[in-house]
Amino acid sequence: MCLGIPGEVVEVLPDRPELARVKVSGVRRAINVGLLENDPPRPGDWVLIHVGFALSKIDEEEARAVLRFLEEIGQAYTDEVDALRQSMIE
């Protein structure tokens, strides 16, 4: 199963504007935001992440609802967060 998980943008990397640091369930990781070049995220924005790429911007209410749902489904969410921890974009 493939999931998109919400993350809050903490910063856009100044020397690499296609990358942003996000916070997902306590994990901070750099992700690629290049797919959102027409509406780039800023700190405080929420994005839907899959395999290290931000696929879309979402509002905070939707992000929190998705996080609640993912926590309820259990293992698939845990697996996705573990995959995020292991991914590295430098």
Torsion angle defined by CA atoms of residues 5, 84, 42 and 68, in that order, rounded to the nearest 10 degrees: 30
Total domains in the chain come to 1
Indicate which CATH number applies to the domain containing 52.
Answer: 2.30.30.140
Confidence of residue 83 (pLDDT cuts 50, 70, 90): confident
| pLDDT, position 90 | 64
DSSP-derived secondary structure for 14-46? TT-TTEEEEEETTEEEEEE-GGGTTS---TT-E
Radius of gyration of the chain from Cα atoms? 12
Q: pLDDT (tens digit, 9 = 90+) per residue, 8-30?
A: 999 999 999 999 999 988 889 99
Expressed as residue numbers, the domain containing 67 is: 5-88
Q: pLDDT (tens digit, 9 = 90+) per residue, 28-80?
A: 999 999 999 999 999 999 999 998 999 999 999 999 998 888 878 777 767 77
- The verdict on pTM exceeding 0.85 is no
Structure tokens at 89: 């974009």
